[in-house]
Chains A and B, each alone.
Chain A
Amino acid sequence: MLTAAESEALFLSLRVSLAAVIWVLPLALALAVLTRHAFPGRSLVEGIVHLPLALPPVVVGFLLLMTFGTREPVGAWLLAHLGIRFAFNWTGAALAAGVITFPFQYRAIRLSLQAQNPGLDEAAETLGAGPIDRFVNLTLPLALPGIVAGAITAFAASLGEFGAIITFVSSIPGETRTLPLAIYSALQQPGGEIEAARLAGLSVALALIGVMLAGFADRRMRAALGA
């Protein structure tokens, strides 16, 4: 049904998106918790977090290249000391997709934390629960719908990321050529429209499944909270 190149692009897209969601989630959660209360410089932190929403993805990709390229200081250090290489690697694609979708996860978690009734935390405190206890057993479970919603949105957005990935890690078949990049490459070749259409159909199917899963997960979690 799918050609080898097509399934390669499909599974690469899924892998890149999943990795992007996973590395961002703990950071977005930590940042959302830290910015719950006002502190000097909070608006600057929030501004930086939201920057990828406002910047053209090509600019994000370019900045990543200037930072993590193997000949740039950070990239060179990572390669020399930790053996981590982002340039022209699928992990670079995951890094780029994660940076672009960071605000999606951060915002969803932040909003679900803000929506929590602070009275519940007080109630837990009077029942003898300390700060970590309250975070693990009250704040986190109550924020779960927000965390999951943010992760699903970020996953979907990662599947569609184009500009940052192609600028940062180029379009290498089997390594960094995700579905949108594969569609673009197909269109670059004479008579590639049919191939592009097949890949576009695949993208539509993937998006549809994602949206349906998200709706299902949302209904389940709302039911669990009894809302």
Chain B
Amino acid sequence: MTIEVALRHTQGRFTLDAAFEVKLGGITALFGPSGAGKTTIVNAIAGLIRPQSGRIAIDGEVVLDTATGVFIPAGLRRTGCVFQDARLFPHLSVENNLRFGWRRARVRADLAQFSEIVELLGLSPLLARKPARLSGGEKSRVALGRALLASPRLLLLDEPLSALDAARKADIFPYLERLRDLHRLPMIYVTHSTEEVSRLADQIIVLQDGRVAGHGTVFELLSDPALGALVPSHGAVFPARILEHRGDGLTVLAFDGGVLLVPHLDRLAGTTLRVRLRADDIMLACEAPRAVSANNVLPAQIVSVLARHGAHADIGLRCGNVKLVARITRSSLERLGFAGGQHVFAIVKSVTVDPQLGASQDHAP
């Protein structure tokens, strides 16, 4: 499924002028600071606003074209929406909230699918409750279930987790990951959180000041130092495969540039996972360190040096075919004189492993 979006919309002093064409698969993140125009874009895709000019086509079907006067109403677009504030109907029980879209769907999910989604999102104990008696995390899950049960062809999630604290967010991530990996429903996920992007997204569209500032897969974009200003506390994200479980309690992961040792992972050898290396968690050494506590020291080559305002500099690295970013202080940069092409050693202080790789890698046709 592809989506083509070209929009021009002025609201007060803000002008959105964004165009992209994306092959949707898994989760596509619309990423950018608040005020970048992310919500305006998803509202236009959903049909909740009429942009001043533009064209949107979902899977080849034109749902908006101001040049020819096409505007398909929101209810007929089959785009499910999950809003930041959940927007559950307060007078209906959870069950009737879930049934609201299900009953009205043109292509209605059967009862087995209904129970499947209820199970997947862990909603059965909540069915009889009114929304006012749900926690924030439960509300998000119900909103997700309600949107899914309307059988959309595309799911739009507008900062669905931003109202939740870190612990509640961590509760919801597995549900979203399961959806991403089990259902082949494409999702557009609006967020300004790097954590959510690097954990969930397969592709990223970076927005800034109403324009598309970058576009690519999560593996390419998150290790692009040029986007460091837009993507705060960034790092590299790449796929890795479990090679073996060692007797000393460590698991060996192979990636396209070497191996990483991580604490034991309860997964079968051969499983592909998503690995994140935060820029702040990589130190650089000019020579191979001989006595160091870190398990992971990767030989790498410097591809870019980008001094930031403030005390930091981002060093782009290539390790095999994987791009990494290390954030060091400018004083270290001056002291050690790093330059493009130089061979160095990346000392990895910590590795984050996400349970699943993502739909685009698992299921892409």
B161-202 to A contact mask, C-beta < 8 Å, 1/0: 000000000000000000000000000000000000000000
- Which of these binds chain B: A11-19, A66-74, A88-96, A122-130? A122-130
Distance of A124 Cα from B104 Cα, bound (Å): 10
Identity of the chain B residue whose Cβ is nearest the Cβ of A227 in the assembled complex = B132
Distance of A137 Cα from B81 Cα, bound (Å): 19
Identity of the chain A residue whose Cβ is nearest the Cβ of B149 in the assembled complex = A127
B227, CB-defined interface residue at 8 Å: no
- The answer on a CB contact under 8 Å between B104 and A127 is yes
- The answer on a CB contact under 8 Å between A117 and B87 is yes
Q: Given the complex, which residues of A lie within 8 Å of B89, measured CB to CB?
A: 120, 123-124, 138
Identity of the chain A residue whose Cβ is nearest the Cβ of B78 in the assembled complex = A128
- The answer on a CB contact under 8 Å between A119 and B85 is yes
Shortest CB-to-CB span from B158 to chain A, Å, is: 11
B130, CB-defined interface residue at 8 Å: yes
- The answer on a CB contact under 8 Å between B104 and A128 is yes
- Chain A contact patch, size range: 20 to 34
- The answer on a CB contact under 8 Å between A128 and B130 is no
- The answer on a CB contact under 8 Å between B48 and A122 is yes
- The answer on a CB contact under 8 Å between B91 and A128 is no
- The answer on a CB contact under 8 Å between A225 and B91 is yes
Q: Given the complex, which residues of A lie within 8 Å of B147, measured CB to CB?
A: 126-127
Known: A124-B100, A226-B132, A227-B132. A129 touches B75 (CB 8 A): yes
Q: Given the complex, which residues of A lie within 8 Å of B210, measured CB to CB?
A: none
Complex interface residues of chain B between 27 and 65 (CB less than 8 A to chain A):
46-48
- The answer on a CB contact under 8 Å between A129 and B104 is yes
B199-229 to A contact mask, C-beta < 8 Å, 1/0: 0000000000000000000000000000000
Task: Name the one of A122, A127, A137 contacting B146, with C-beta atoms under 8 angstroms.
Answer: A127
- The answer on a CB contact under 8 Å between B150 and A128 is yes
Q: Given the complex, which residues of A lie within 8 Å of B106, measured CB to CB?
A: 128
Distance of A129 Cα from B105 Cα, bound (Å): 9
A142, CB-defined interface residue at 8 Å: yes
A224, CB-defined interface residue at 8 Å: yes
Distance of A126 Cα from B158 Cα, bound (Å): 13
Identity of the chain A residue whose Cβ is nearest the Cβ of B86 in the assembled complex = A123
- The answer on a CB contact under 8 Å between A123 and B87 is yes
Binding site for B on A (CB under 8 A): 117, 119-120, 122-130, 133, 137-138, 141-142, 224-227
